[in-house]
């Protein structure tokens, strides 16, 4: 079996995925790196502090979030230059996926520091694989723009052949599905809610039908919204089920 290269000397940046709800969803390697790293950079140090405490891990936490990343990057690059092992986590899931990480990763690469991913949970892929929609071709769109560029983006996405993955908040889901009906027509969609948590739920159906459901009940919690791509339309009912 190939050996992980995380025993090489010198500073190294680890991009560590953490649970999106169920605390059991963390790899043995993630736990080891969170323990052994010289420093854990975390979006909200209280959130990561609770995760570390759950696994009885004691380590130094440094806040790294979208508001302070410009100031933090030179500091973290210095630590890497000094040979320190840095673990980067976000509040949940994979850093860099609708969470800060990208700027630091780019800066570390430019500075010649090795960057190593520790794969694990991300709500996008968990939602996709359980949605029942095609997984062979998909696009991840993160959060839609709230105002400027929103309708243009939706129009563009309405031509997308693969499954579309969006992040959305519960208070905005109804409005977003109304926009989908407007731009995509009555396309098949899946709402994936509270993945890996106690009230995990999938609501599947044509957008118009799901919209009616939402008029009778309001959703809470975290949501991934999946929209069937244009290729899905051409599948026969038998192909959709097989
Ligand atoms: N980095 C995270 C990841 O890898 O999935 C995403 C962080 S983003 C700031 C937060 C959004 O991810 C939420 O608003 C929701 O759309 C989605 N999300 C995160 N956890 C989720 C869960 N347990 N169930 C459903 N959606 C979730």
Note the pLDDT of residue 8: 45
* pLDDT of 238 higher than 90: no
214 membership: H or E segment, kind and range: helix 207-216
Q: Is 78 part of a structural domain of the chain?
A: yes
CATH number (domain holding residue 110): 3.40.1010.10
Q: Is 3 part of a structural domain of the chain?
A: no
* pLDDT of 9 higher than 90: no
Q: Which two tokens stand for residue 210?
A: 């799901």
Cα–Cα dist 11/38, whole Å: 10
* pLDDT of 75 higher than 70: yes
Note the pLDDT of residue 7: 45
Cα–Cα dist 167/230, whole Å: 20
User: Do 108 and 73 have their domain in common?
Assistant: yes
Note the pLDDT of residue 237: 75
Q: Which of 97, 167, 190, 202 to mutate to test the pocket of ligand 1 (most atoms within 8 A of CB)?
A: 167
Strand ranges across the sheet with 138-143: 138-143, 163-169, 222-227, 188-193, 201-206
CATH number (domain holding residue 161): 3.30.950.10
Instruction: State mean pLDDT over 131-143.
Output: 97
Verify whether ligand 1 is closer than 6 Å to residue 125 (CB atom): no
Instruction: State mean pLDDT over 50-71.
Output: 97
User: Do 113 and 164 have their domain in common?
Assistant: no
User: Do 199 and 137 have their domain in common?
Assistant: yes
Q: What is the pTM of this model?
A: 0.94
Range of the domain at 228: 123-241
DSSP letters for 106-163: HHHHHTT--EEEE----HHHHHHHHH-S--SSEEEEEEPPSSTTHHHHHHHHTT-SSE
Burial tier of 232 (Cβ tally within 10 Å: 0-12, 13-18, 19+): middle
User: Do 204 and 102 have their domain in common?
Assistant: no
Q: pLDDT class for 197, splitting at 50, 70, 90?
A: very high
* pLDDT of 3 higher than 60: no
Cα–Cα dist 32/28, whole Å: 6
Which of 79, 89, 83 has the alpha carbon at shortest distance from 57? 89
* pLDDT of 210 higher than 90: yes
Domain count within the chain: 2
Q: Is 7 part of a structural domain of the chain?
A: no
**Which of 118, 135, 170 is at the close of a domain?**
118
Note the pLDDT of residue 239: 74
Which letter, b or e, does each residue of 188-197 get, where b requires 16 or more Cβ atoms within 10 Å of its Cβ? Answer: bbbbbbbbbe
Which of 127, 183, 114 has the alpha carbon at shortest distance from 154? 183
Verify whether ligand 1 is closer than 6 Å to residue 141 (CB atom): no
User: Do 172 and 219 have their domain in common?
Assistant: yes
Q: Which of 98, 142, 144, 168 to mutate to test the pocket of ligand 1 (most atoms within 8 A of CB)?
A: 98
Ligand 1 centre to CA of 197 (Å) is 12
Note the pLDDT of residue 38: 98
Note the pLDDT of residue 2: 43
User: Do 113 and 182 have their domain in common?
Assistant: no
**Which of 118, 134, 156 is at the close of a domain?**
118
User: Do 114 and 94 have their domain in common?
Assistant: yes
The proportion of the chain whose per-residue pLDDT surpasses 90, expressed as a percent, equals 92
């Amino acid at each position: 079996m190939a050996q992980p290269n995380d025993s090489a000397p010198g500073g190294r940046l680890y991009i560590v995925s953490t649970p999106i709800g169920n605390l059991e969803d963390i790899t043995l390697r993630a736990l080891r790196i969170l323990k052994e790293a010289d420093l854990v950079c975390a979006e909200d140090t209280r959130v990561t502090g609770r995760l570390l405490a759950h696994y009885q891990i004691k380590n130094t936490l440094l806040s790294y979030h979208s508001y302070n990343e410009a100031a933090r990057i030179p500091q973290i690059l210095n630590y890497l230059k000094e040979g320190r092992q840095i673990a980067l986590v976000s509040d949940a899931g994979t850093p860099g996926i609708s969470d800060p990480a990208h700027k630091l990763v780019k800066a570390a690469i430019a500075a010649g520091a090795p960057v190593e991913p520790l794969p694990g949970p991300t709500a996008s892929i968990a939602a996709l694989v359980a949605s029942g929609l095609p997984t062979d071709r998909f696009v991840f769109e993160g959060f839609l723009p709230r105002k400027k560029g929103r309708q243009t983006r939706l129009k563009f996405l309405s031509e997308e052949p693969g499954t579309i993955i969006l992040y959305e908040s519960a208070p905005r889901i109804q409005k977003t599905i109304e926009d989908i009906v407007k731009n995509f027509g009555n396309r098949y969609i899946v709402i994936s809610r509270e993945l890996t948590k106690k009230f995990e739920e999938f609501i599947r159906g044509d957008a118009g039908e799901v919209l009616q459901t939402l008029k009778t009940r309001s959703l809470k919690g975290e949501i991934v919204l999946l929209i069937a791509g244009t290729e899905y339309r051409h599948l026969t009912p038998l192909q959709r089920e097989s």
